[in-house]
Structure 1
């Protein structure tokens, strides 16, 4: 009974982690958004770059854009479910980034009202000011639809790689429990002694406080993360990812970002004294803390790569300028989160921690709360909370 309850607790935790990492973007809506973004919508202020609130504010308040985007979705959604999903996509973006109060029924109303006034999008070339709701030719839209269908598949593949990282630690922490309950019966006393001698009780200085088994697990995990960040970049240049440089940084950014977020529940659970992994895995708290630190370092490196990529892109001409990006909540909360986790790691260095241990405890817990708040705010504007990941 005890084994069953612990196993159920472990599986429930894993399921909740996986359910929090599900993509909900509509590639129909994203295709329409980025096609129409190539036109001007009577914006009096400078348009921002990727995901800028100024861009959304301009578009979501423009009746011609609303008529165009809803008709685009209406024309190219393949089912009622996909239609409502795409309308919901627009509603969430506008309500969040432009402070509107739309609902799906209003999107349908905009579509119906604009349907009698549609003009061919080819009458308004890229960059020209739009003065009427637009229709999009199927031959032109196909390229954009294919672009975001493949892009969303890439992002969902990144999520599966993130689940793989979680699964690695489920295996690492679950196998000792299986051995404790069943496996020990099939291992002789001499084999146990030999294993303990060479792996459990061996603390070489080069392993920085880890025994050989712990060091081996961390090394294998490092290799796993490295491989997961390096494989399956099979997207080709397309309507959205228009040059090799942008294609590379965008794909690498989302890969590191999603894998990092996948690891957050794992290293947080390992950092507390009583957690389901510890109960089932029969590992000591000191071992869990070592893994907690190592995963936190991996997380920080991934987050830093993600942050550096978008900071560099924001400063480019295509990005629109750093000042525009810095106005958006998701951007500056991301900076705060990356900075805080870096400070937490710096304060966790043994010589610093031992010098002011009581102060370290207070700061570590305070920074942990601030980090959670920063990631919450960062993800809230990107809708990477209960409803999943939003990339567009």
Structure 2
């Protein structure tokens, strides 16, 4: 049912955008015949005083001259005759149904050319029908044809730009759903051509290794480069945009409507770029939205859509600038007068705000002050929409803005609905080792977690209740009605919570929260014969939840699962200890790399977990050298209320003490004993050696899923791409779960 709903929304949304040339837009093409005649008449002759604006609908000689021009053109005559009624309604004049018959009769009887009228002066009204210059009639008709058809084709070309993305999304959905619906076919896709595409196009970074890592340029101008496939898609979009704005934009020489060929072509470009920029708005907002149904439909992650959002937004703004600059040049002589018009100054405001959005969205600014960036980004985007709305409302293009507003409002309404439905429970927030916050949140009964998914959390505090931040989560190991989020202390909200918890008893407190989500989708790694999850530091929660979900839902013999976690020191595993214990009775092969094993800083924090250590003094701890059983160590867990009182009852280990061989601390041995199902390796893993080794040991197709430090993620990507073509001809897939929010 959900699938059908998503599919219906997808098709409806894109069909309505991609077929924008249909209702409610009425093509201008045939009207240009009538307007070409009236404009030529105004340039050659006068029938009424200048202030009588309804002259063409009430002066019989003017109407006869129009009739004569329409007959000479003889193109869609019935339409243009009937259009006279619609045109005169604008002047509050009702024209008789048979106006043309009487007007053409009068024209045939009395029409005269300029040479036949004594002392003819075009500025002085005449009282006979006028025979227009035949040569100029052809020029006016051709000029208006190109001018008006440019409006129509601009709608079609803007729809073509949306159609390009529709094609990209359909292809992306096909390739990604094939992995899910036909995994056995996917495993066999190791043909040299397919491997070449995956090795050199779809999998690697655009240049060398860096994709998730920031690219530095003059310190303040850092940026991210999408993957090679994403870069190709973006590059082709730029090409399509340039092509669609370059074609069919030629004017005739000595254009009589705009006085010159240059001004005519400048008008064509200005009109087209303004229309296509407005048509791009719904897609820009949809790509940035949290409730973007395309994430599920196409199976792309949020980072991919954000990459496309940034580039479609840049194209939209560039087109708006071209539109604004073009009209500034065209209206240079009358700029002050035009700028006083509502539509014009709101266009100026919208373009200016768009420029501010581009500036405040610089990578450095959004990384340095993300909360401030996000707040102003939303406010400025709202002003942009309002400015565009007021700019086009009287120009006949307001309907182009409706889809953008609908997309944005839909996202906001759904987000508010999610928050209300989730409620505002009290979460237990604890400051753990490695400057990590553990947030245990009670969840409603309807709320089903997504393996590898994430949720946006609002901490209901007076100073930042309005802010929401994304965090991956896991199911609680001891309470199925709760989810656990782990937040690395950085800046903003997490730093404020850190300062609060440092002063709190037991470094724990209750905070009212609300969660918006869940968002995201699990990777197709579950369909591979072997799935290797490689996490670094705080990148473990999402991978853990996904690998555990696979282990619980697939028979033991079906596939091989491996979880690799790289941490800096022993205390780094403290905050995820319960989850590691939970892996004991699963089929998941778990390996933890300790990159700095000799660092025992704050390792005594494990005293908050271990009790009954009185007998573990140096003379009586021989059993540690052979390894302790799980039963030898008692684990106690404390609630927020019990933490402080129980601390006094626990036996604490003094300053870090090493064993006689000088290599391990007692607590390290206890950790190894309790986590006997986990293999600990001192040092950093060599990704270059790890990837081919895992491929060789796999029993068929293999998937690598990674999340952690961007440098590690990029390394995994790089060596997965290098090993797509392997001697065993095994299918190798790569998935990254790292999400780039800023």
Of the candidates 140, 143, 147, which is equivalent to residue 143 of structure 2?
147
Of the candidates 353, 370, 373, which is equivalent to residue 357 of structure 1?
370
Secondary structure of 1:182's match?
helix
Q: Is residue 295–residue 301 contact of structure 2 (8 Å, CA) maintained in 1?
A: yes
Q: Give the unaligned 5+ runs of structure 1.
A: 44-57, 95-99
Q: State how far apart, in whole Å, the 2-side matches of 1:381 and 1:59 are.
A: 23
The yes-or-no answer on 1:215 pairing with 2:228 is no
Indicate the residue corresponding to 1:156 in structure 2. Answer: 152
How far has the Cα of 1:24 moved from its partner? Answer: 2.8
How far has the Cα of 1:13 moved from its partner? Answer: 1.3
Indicate the residue corresponding to 2:313 in structure 1. Answer: 296
How far has the Cα of 1:367 moved from its partner? Answer: 2.2
> Structure 1 stretch 355-364 or stretch 214-223: which is displaced more?
355-364
Secondary structure of 1:233's match?
coil
Secondary structure of 1:198's match?
coil
How far has the Cα of 1:330 moved from its partner? Answer: 2.4
Indicate the residue corresponding to 1:24 in structure 2. Answer: 27
Q: Is residue 307–residue 338 contact of structure 1 (8 Å, CA) maintained in 2?
A: yes
How far has the Cα of 1:297 moved from its partner? Answer: 0.9
Q: State how far apart, in whole Å, the 2-side matches of 1:289 and 1:137 are.
A: 58
Q: Give the unaligned 5+ runs of structure 2.
A: 216-222, 402-742
Indicate the residue corresponding to 1:245 in structure 2. Answer: 262
Indicate the residue corresponding to 2:240 in structure 1. Answer: 224
Q: Give the alignment of 1:350-389 within 5 angstroms.
A: 350-386=363-399
Indicate the residue corresponding to 1:275 in structure 2. Answer: 292
How far has the Cα of 1:166 moved from its partner? Answer: 0.7
Secondary structure of 1:232's match?
coil
Compare the two structures and name the one with the higher strand fraction: 2
Q: State how far apart, in whole Å, the 1-side matches of 2:306 and 2:121 are.
A: 55
Indicate the residue corresponding to 1:314 in structure 2. Answer: 331
Q: State how far apart, in whole Å, the 2-side matches of 1:280 and 1:87 are.
A: 49
1:245-293 deviation line (CA, Å, top 9, x unaligned)? 2133122222322332232221122122223433422222222122111
Indicate the residue corresponding to 2:361 in structure 1. Answer: 348
Q: Give the alignment of 1:53-64 within 5 angstroms.
A: 58=51, 60=53, 62-63=54-55
The yes-or-no answer on 1:198 pairing with 2:204 is yes
TM-score of the pair, normalised by structure 1: 0.76
Q: State how far apart, in whole Å, the 1-side matches of 2:120 and 2:388 are.
A: 40
Compare the two structures and name the one with the higher helix fraction: 1
Indicate the residue corresponding to 2:526 in structure 1. Answer: none
Closer/same/farther in 2, CA of residues 69 and 170 from structure 1, 3 Å limit = farther
Q: Is residue 159–residue 259 contact of structure 1 (8 Å, CA) maintained in 2?
A: yes
> Structure 1 stretch 302-311 or stretch 326-335: which is displaced more?
326-335
Q: Is residue 143–residue 252 contact of structure 2 (8 Å, CA) maintained in 1?
A: no
Q: State how far apart, in whole Å, the 2-side matches of 1:132 and 1:279 are.
A: 70
How far has the Cα of 1:145 moved from its partner? Answer: 2.6
Q: State how far apart, in whole Å, the 2-side matches of 1:133 and 1:374 are.
A: 47
Closer/same/farther in 2, CA of residues 264 and 29 from structure 1, 3 Å limit = farther
Q: State how far apart, in whole Å, the 1-side matches of 2:363 and 2:388 are.
A: 26
Q: State how far apart, in whole Å, the 2-side matches of 1:65 and 1:180 are.
A: 62
> Structure 1 stretch 16-25 or stretch 217-226: which is displaced more?
16-25
Q: State how far apart, in whole Å, the 1-side matches of 2:369 and 2:348 are.
A: 27
How far has the Cα of 1:23 moved from its partner? Answer: 5.1
Closer/same/farther in 2, CA of residues 387 and 311 from structure 1, 3 Å limit = closer
Of the candidates 105, 116, 128, which is equivalent to residue 123 of structure 2?
128
The yes-or-no answer on 1:235 pairing with 2:245 is no
CA-based RMSD of the aligned residues comes to: 3.7
The higher-RCO structure (CA 8 Å, 6+ apart) is: 1
